[in-house]
Amino acid sequence: MVLEEAAQGFAALGSEARLQVVLTLVKAGHTGLTVGDIQSRTGMAASTLAHHLKFLSSAGLVIQEKDGRSVINRAAFDHLEGLAGYILKECCVDEGGC
């Protein structure tokens, strides 16, 4: 992961509402949730949630998949792990490692 990609991912998580959406999807696991399920769990207005999901999807943090008339939203676990690894890869380097 390069600096620009990491910055985009962290910027997407820089909103309390978007962080709440991602945490909700992480809790749901690989099954994911419909927009209505996310809305009921977060209490967000539909238009606000749609905006945040679009932002998170464009940053690669949420994967959206059409399932009939519904859209299933899933946390992009690989990308989230990559972000965590990116921030921690330099852990304690100045001290000789963790």
Q: Where are the domains of the chain?
A: 3-89
How far apart, in Å, are the Cα atoms of 30 and each of 12, 62, 70, 81?
Answer: 20, 11, 16, 14
Does 3.30.56.10 match the CATH number of domain 3-89? no
Question: Does residue 98 register a pLDDT over 90?
Answer: no
pLDDT digit string, tens, across residues 76-94: 999 999 999 999 988 888 9
- Whole-structure pTM value: 0.89
- As given in the structure block, the two tokens for residue 75 are 């946390």
